[in-house]
Structure 1
Amino acid sequence: MSYLKFDKSSLTNLEKSLRKEILRTNKSGAYSATTLVDCNTRKYHGLLVVPVPELSDSNHVLLSSLDETVIQHGAEFNLGVHEYENNFYSPNGQKYIREFHLETVSKTIYRVGGVILSKERIFISHENRFVIRYTLLDAHSPTTLRFRPFLAFRSVHELCIENDVLNDSINDVANGISMCLYQGYPALYMQFSKSNQFVSDPHWYNGIKYFKEQERGYDYKEDLYVPGYFECAIKKGEALVFSAGTSSVEPRTLFKLYDDEVAKRTIRSDFFHTLKNAAQQFYLKSGDNYYLLAGYPWFKVRARDEFIALAGATLVIDDRDMFEKIMQTASVTILSFLEGNLIEKNLYELEAPDVLLWAIRAIQYYADFYGIKDTTAKYGDLILSIINFIRKQKHPNLFLHENGLLYTNGNQKAATWMNATENGIPIIQRSGYIVEINALWYNALKFSVQIATEQKDEYNADLLDYQSEVTKQSFVDVFWNGTYLYDFVDGQNANVEVRPNMVMAVALPYSPLDKEQQKSVLDLITRELLTPKGLRTLSPKSSLYRPFYVGSQLQRDRNYHNGPVWPWLAGAFADAYLKIYKRSGFSFIERLLIGFESEMKELCVGTLSELHDGNPPFLGHGAMSFAMSVAEILRIYRIVYIDQIQL
């Protein structure tokens, strides 16, 4: 029995199946995404979506979809699905689907009369090439397959409208064709493993609807160009491979290309291995550099997200090499920033006040896995350089005060992960002494003492230890209100809203709070913020509470951090809970994981989304696959089920 399997009843019901998406990536920035029934519901969906840096920083949809038609005795059965206005679907290929499952690759089984056809999809690693293998499992009479490509050639943030500037030239290539609809784009090569006939039959398909864009308040109808169709005969038991790429391929190599790629993949046999597969899809290789994407389908590499997710997406799944490659790329950029040079563009938002502290936290995880000696040898100088940079007041928006706390100006520009804006101004103006920044600062100071001690630099170790003690006392004096921690304090303004950021002061290895204070903070978070999908961003008791991530862009931005649940925060909560309750807390965290495992069959199959509504039924929203969500739940899973750490 497949871990991720859907039967006919759940697939033919479009109200259910169109809400469930699938994603495949090439680990170099390109992806393929659609729904379980291959009906695109977002402008970000597409069979082949690739970076085109010559045009913009966005990804671009080249091949939107590929409609298959089974032909027997002159009768045509179209397996495609497209939505048009007024909930009109044409064709209705979902009625032929018998099952879908996601093990090593995604696989759909269709049945049309006596014809049983399987369709398996995979993205070739580090190549802009998406491959589909079709196998005719059964047929009682001669069968022909027809393939009709729907072309877009546009940014993922835009929509295509019928026009007369399109280049409709078709170039013959081995077992296929190539086309380039607009200047500046790469050519799209569509090829098969066997000979076929391409029939020129150009048409615009107008008014294709993407209801998820409609829900988000955006334009939602698109015109797609279909240049014609491919036809080829296929026999019972025979397989053929289709390739869509930005370069040509030798047709006879397609089966081997497919098999070799399958051999690299993780089988999604359980929750852990499914999340492991999801984590690896965030890897990004660009030239000789390595990064971690923040999420799909619209996020790029964001420094904060990369450092928060790095341990869970690499070390937890025993990929030390990838951690070191990503951190090596990041280290070059960090050192450049510390020296006052321009920031390398592929690692966005490195200058944000909390990011360097999250980088130290990522390295601290490395020390947990591989020891302080190896960590100091590899990253010790980087850590001490960051600490020195902050202590010498060189950061543009981190100011070390005499009380040992870091002050940040967050009124005009978002300073933390709660970064939604309205007219360029932060919706939540977290400014002054910010709770998680100072918790991270105290933790970083204590960790740097370890590093300096390992380097046998006693003077620096003593200095940093003294600095940490000053910070610890001031942290309690400033943030502790007798029951929990203020979210931020700026002069006489102490923000009393119950938000999840204070969990970091309990969860981090070095906490400035005593045990009773830690427990008091944790108990309040458990009562008011904990849900089956993570922590709410604001207590329901607040007058500002807006739990649902719905409506226009402005409405969603206003709600973004004022009630919706973020799964990544469950990682810090689990750390805090196990710190307080030791081994007796394992059963509670196990139950928490159940809420995330149920998501494996929801918004995007086999991965975790960016956020959820703050009230039941806690529907998923935002990015269909989010690195911090996946990484932190992976980290919890390993603590509970694999490491069985001694607390």
Structure 2
Amino acid sequence: MPDLDTREWLLTNGLGSFASGTVSDVRTRTYHGWLFTATNPPSGRNLLLSHLDASLEVSGSVVALGTNVWGNDRIELTGYQLLRGFDINPVPKWTWGQNNWQLTRQLVMPYGLVGIGDWGLGTRDWGLGAKNEELEIGKNASQYPIPIAPNPQGGGQVPQSQFCHRILIQYRYDGSDTAILRLRLLIAERDFHHQQTASSGLQFSELLGQQQVCLQAKKSGNFGIPWHLRWTQGKYQPDAVWYWNYGLSEETKRGLGDKEDLYSPGYLIVTLQPGDVVTLEARVGFPDSTAGVLTSETFAEAVEVEQERLSKIFGWSERGTRQELFNSQSPLWQKLLKASDRFIVYRGSIAGPTIIAGYHWFNERGRDILIALPGLVLAPQRFDLAKAVLRTFGHSCRHGLMPNTFPDDDGEPLYNSIDAALWWIETLGLYLEATQDWEFLAEQFPIVQQIHKAFIGGTHYNIQVDAIDGLISWDARGVALTWMDVVIGANPVTPRHGKPVEINALWYSALCWLSQWAERLSHLSQLKFGDPARLNKQAKRYALQAEKVKTSLQKFWNPQLGYLYDTIEPDDRRNFQIRPNAVLALSLHHCGFSEQQGCQVLDLVTASLLTPYGLRSLDPGDPEYKGRYEGNQEQRDRAYHQGTVWTWLIGPYIRAWQRFYPQQSLPFDWQPLLDHFLFNACLGSISEIFDGDSPHTPRGAIAQAWSVAEVIRHVQK
């Protein structure tokens, strides 16, 4: 699609709801729309409001401001040609214009928790389960019962406060003549992963009130999510029509469903004098008198409230000492912190905070959360938030494993990871180093011991410590338990069963932490944690195990290559591919490799894996290397860990470099990655992955938690 600026923008509300689209205002993804609402925060995301198609009548001429692609790249309503400017800060703002007029549009998605503190507690039901077909204007959602969420730490149940899913839209007209603005509603009722198709089984109820319209879908006899649109001025005209066959070019490239039908219940007509403003709000739930009056000032107030919220979070430390105010920090640092906050969301089932791994399509992923936590939460000193997330994971420990995948339906999480529990220990250690919160250590230490016992004695997937060398091994066919976790059918693309190098480096670091913590707890008599003599014995035992593992880690050294074997397979064969897992092994708080080995590894990584956007997942000289992440699902899955660049790996590379080359400057130029953050792909965030080959096109999720986290952790303020 020539001439279209398909860079993307993203708004979130702290509950899992989001809005997203492109600079040129054309929808290119299934995940583009103005109100995706998380009905079961942060899950159950559904598209309600796709967008408003705008046209402007000035001096007898009507100009279409929207841009749509139909079917296979047929562009109509070429409003992008009138687009004169776009700005992302502080909120997305478009400016269309000609010689005698100018129209701007802004969007803001207010923070969705109406509760306590940084991320609040609880929710209020907005009638999402309503069974009545007739929507009653003025019906108050408060008559629906307030649900109660279980307290994962025990001590009864946690009452939930109010959720609010909404987006505000504001248009401003400037010109020499009176203008008429027409805004056509394009709506849907579908899961955010799938497109909507017009059918006789899908209908929409519409009830018009005073400057508002209430909408609700009915699919095969089941009622959907009620929501309403209200406005400050204008006349609404019902005009039911389906628009068929929107083309979604990014989904075409990904080999996925790429056609969408959207329903329009009607349109709004607004007469505008020069300088006039019209504000609209789309909000989930029935109209509620407690929502307040919508005015022309509502939009600016919402933007100001959000700025104040961010300033409060990042301008003060969790420990109560004054820091440099958020608003006086560098613009780059402000934008990075703002980007980090998009991933912090509330989970209703635990009445507490969690982290979304990425937008648009990811939910929570245990490994990603724990790797991202130091950058997203510890670096900005959101210590209470870090503690809450770590506690939730500790409570979820089963058979020595931590959950890695959380389903959208609040079902049982999947414990399909060998390393999530080890990353939890590593991140817990970083939290304790930053906070000296030894009471929390005493609270969590039994879980640490549970993980240790499970790995020593054996747990699921034949995960067990080898009694001879002390290294962790696993052997389960048809699964992939490390971060290189793509499985096609029953076959992992990058099988790493046996003894992976970074897993055993994590195991060594965990044993070092255990030894330190047992010794410390033995001296903290005020905590009354166990018998000091017994803790001292445990500390010595953990230290001996750590020394054994450190010695055995030399099995991974490949002297011919000057690198670390990626895995030692169950039959004792070595995998000698040059992958970034060796860098992970060098970057942990406790490192079991020598200075000479670390320097040799980093020299080879710098020469073969380092790019301006992160580290490649495989050496370009390897026969299995794939330099471009593109094509259908299977083609992309086969390239995911076979050369694709992962931005989050730049963090471990920097930490390893600082350890082994402390006096030498880092051989990495931040500018390309920061330019990507500021000006490319998703403006104000960082992509999940990039092509291994130049020009390293950004791919995957448009905003990834651990990508942003590692930049925050290391870029200079």
Task: Provide TM-score, normalisation by structure 1.
Answer: 0.90
Tell me whether 1:411 sits opposite 2:477 in the alignment.
yes
Q: Give 2:466's aligned amino acid.
A: H
Indicate if the aligned counterparts of 2:367 and 2:404 stay in contact, CA closer than 8 A.
Answer: no
The alpha carbon displacement at 1:340 in A equals 11
Tell me whether 1:39 sits opposite 2:75 in the alignment.
no
Alignment correspondent of 1:118: 104
Q: Distance in 1 between matches of 2:676 and 2:243?
A: 37
The alpha carbon displacement at 1:305 in A equals 0.7
Indicate if the aligned counterparts of 2:368 and 2:706 stay in contact, CA closer than 8 A.
Answer: yes
Indicate if the aligned counterparts of 1:547 and 1:563 stay in contact, CA closer than 8 A.
Answer: yes
| Correspondence for 1:191 among 214, 230, 235 | 230
| Correspondence for 1:275 among 336, 339, 353 | 336
CA 1:471/1:341 → structure 2, altered by over 3 Å: closer, same or farther? Answer: closer
| Correspondence for 1:60 among 46, 55, 60 | 46
Q: Distance in 1 between matches of 2:272 and 2:444?
A: 57
CA 1:546/1:342 → structure 2, altered by over 3 Å: closer, same or farther? Answer: closer
CA 1:218/1:562 → structure 2, altered by over 3 Å: closer, same or farther? Answer: same
Q: Distance in 2 between matches of 1:532 and 1:417?
A: 22
Q: Distance in 2 between matches of 1:185 and 1:259?
A: 31
The alpha carbon displacement at 1:165 in A equals 2.6
Tell me whether 1:19 sits opposite 2:60 in the alignment.
no
The alpha carbon displacement at 1:103 in A equals 1.6
Q: Distance in 2 between matches of 1:186 and 1:15?
A: 37
Indicate if the aligned counterparts of 1:162 and 1:223 stay in contact, CA closer than 8 A.
Answer: yes
Tell me whether 1:133 sits opposite 2:170 in the alignment.
yes
| Correspondence for 1:453 among 499, 505, 519 | 519
Hey, which bits of structure 1, 4+ residues long, moved more than 6 A? 339-344
Q: Distance in 2 between matches of 1:38 and 1:341?
A: 38
Q: Distance in 2 between matches of 1:393 and 1:314?
A: 33
The alpha carbon displacement at 1:33 in A equals 0.8
| Correspondence for 1:465 among 527, 533, 543 | 543
Alignment correspondent of 1:200: 238
Indicate if the aligned counterparts of 1:414 and 1:426 stay in contact, CA closer than 8 A.
Answer: yes
Q: Give 1:541's aligned amino acid.
A: G
| Correspondence for 2:685 among 590, 602, 607 | 607
Alignment correspondent of 2:394: 331
Alignment correspondent of 2:466: 401
Indicate if the aligned counterparts of 1:497 and 1:542 stay in contact, CA closer than 8 A.
Answer: yes
Indicate the structure with greater helix content: 1
Q: Distance in 1 between matches of 2:478 and 2:674?
A: 36
Q: Identity of paired residues, percent?
A: 27
Q: Give 1:128's aligned amino acid.
A: H
Indicate if the aligned counterparts of 2:184 and 2:266 stay in contact, CA closer than 8 A.
Answer: yes
Residue 10 of structure 2 aligns to a residue whose secondary structure is strand
| Correspondence for 2:267 among 229, 232, 243 | 229
Q: Distance in 1 between matches of 2:620 and 2:255?
A: 26
Return 5+ residue gaps in structure 2 as ranges. 113-163, 311-326, 523-534
Indicate if the aligned counterparts of 2:10 and 2:20 stay in contact, CA closer than 8 A.
Answer: yes
Indicate if the aligned counterparts of 1:411 and 1:430 stay in contact, CA closer than 8 A.
Answer: no
Alignment correspondent of 1:175: 211
Q: Which shifted more, 307-316 or 68-77?
A: 68-77
Q: Distance in 1 between matches of 2:402 and 2:93?
A: 51
Indicate if the aligned counterparts of 2:501 and 2:556 stay in contact, CA closer than 8 A.
Answer: no
Q: Distance in 1 between matches of 2:333 and 2:595?
A: 32
Q: Distance in 2 between matches of 1:319 and 1:53?
A: 25
Q: Which shifted more, 442-451 or 81-90?
A: 81-90
Q: Distance in 1 between matches of 2:14 and 2:20?
A: 14
Q: Distance in 2 between matches of 1:275 and 1:61?
A: 27
CA 1:91/1:604 → structure 2, altered by over 3 Å: closer, same or farther? Answer: same
Q: Distance in 2 between matches of 1:378 and 1:271?
A: 38
Indicate if the aligned counterparts of 1:130 and 1:243 stay in contact, CA closer than 8 A.
Answer: yes
| Correspondence for 2:712 among 634, 638, 641 | 634
CA 1:205/1:408 → structure 2, altered by over 3 Å: closer, same or farther? Answer: same
Tell me whether 1:616 sits opposite 2:603 in the alignment.
no
Indicate if the aligned counterparts of 1:433 and 1:488 stay in contact, CA closer than 8 A.
Answer: yes
Alignment correspondent of 1:294: 357
The alpha carbon displacement at 1:435 in A equals 0.7
| Correspondence for 1:356 among 412, 415, 421 | 421
Q: Distance in 1 between matches of 2:678 and 2:258?
A: 27
Q: Give 1:602's aligned amino acid.
A: N
Q: Give 1:356's aligned amino acid.
A: A
Alignment correspondent of 1:573: 653
Q: Give 2:698's aligned amino acid.
A: G
Q: Which shifted more, 322-331 or 574-583?
A: 322-331
Indicate if the aligned counterparts of 1:175 and 1:251 stay in contact, CA closer than 8 A.
Answer: no
The alpha carbon displacement at 1:412 in A equals 1.6
Q: Give 1:252's aligned amino acid.
A: V
Q: Distance in 1 between matches of 2:252 and 2:271?
A: 40
| Correspondence for 1:243 among 251, 273, 281 | 281
CA 1:343/1:237 → structure 2, altered by over 3 Å: closer, same or farther? Answer: closer
The alpha carbon displacement at 1:538 in A equals 0.5
CA RMSD of aligned residues (A): 2.5
Residue 181 of structure 1 aligns to a residue whose secondary structure is strand
CA 1:16/1:75 → structure 2, altered by over 3 Å: closer, same or farther? Answer: closer
Residue 251 of structure 2 aligns to a residue whose secondary structure is helix
The alpha carbon displacement at 1:374 in A equals 6.2
The alpha carbon displacement at 1:418 in A equals 0.7
Q: Give 2:396's aligned amino acid.
A: T
Q: Which shifted more, 292-301 or 342-351?
A: 342-351
Tell me whether 1:160 sits opposite 2:196 in the alignment.
yes
CA 1:516/1:479 → structure 2, altered by over 3 Å: closer, same or farther? Answer: closer
Q: Distance in 2 between matches of 1:271 and 1:619?
A: 23
Q: Distance in 2 between matches of 1:39 and 1:20?
A: 10
| Correspondence for 2:55 among 44, 57, 69 | 69
Q: Which shifted more, 83-92 or 433-442?
A: 83-92
Alignment correspondent of 1:645: none
Q: Distance in 2 between matches of 1:151 and 1:341?
A: 36
Indicate if the aligned counterparts of 2:401 and 2:418 stay in contact, CA closer than 8 A.
Answer: no
Residue 504 of structure 1 aligns to a residue whose secondary structure is helix
Return 5+ residue gaps in structure 1 as ranges. 1-13, 643-647
Tell me whether 1:438 sits opposite 2:504 in the alignment.
yes
CA 1:330/1:140 → structure 2, altered by over 3 Å: closer, same or farther? Answer: same
Tell me whether 1:264 sits opposite 2:289 in the alignment.
no
CA 1:487/1:184 → structure 2, altered by over 3 Å: closer, same or farther? Answer: farther
Q: Give 1:133's aligned amino acid.
A: Q
| Correspondence for 1:525 among 589, 601, 605 | 605
Residue 429 of structure 1 aligns to a residue whose secondary structure is coil
CA 1:276/1:390 → structure 2, altered by over 3 Å: closer, same or farther? Answer: same
Tell me whether 1:424 sits opposite 2:490 in the alignment.
yes
Q: Distance in 2 between matches of 1:25 and 1:606?
A: 13
The alpha carbon displacement at 1:189 in A equals 0.9
Alignment correspondent of 1:146: 182
Q: Distance in 1 between matches of 2:266 and 2:28?
A: 23
Q: Give 1:474's aligned amino acid.
A: S
The alpha carbon displacement at 1:59 in A equals 2.2
Alignment correspondent of 2:566: 487
Q: Give 2:544's aligned amino acid.
A: Y
The alpha carbon displacement at 1:523 in A equals 1.0
Residue 563 of structure 2 aligns to a residue whose secondary structure is coil
Q: Distance in 1 between matches of 2:235 and 2:593?
A: 72
Tell me whether 1:88 sits opposite 2:74 in the alignment.
yes
Residue 51 of structure 2 aligns to a residue whose secondary structure is strand
Tell me whether 1:216 sits opposite 2:257 in the alignment.
no
Q: Distance in 2 between matches of 1:504 and 1:139?
A: 58
CA 1:383/1:238 → structure 2, altered by over 3 Å: closer, same or farther? Answer: farther
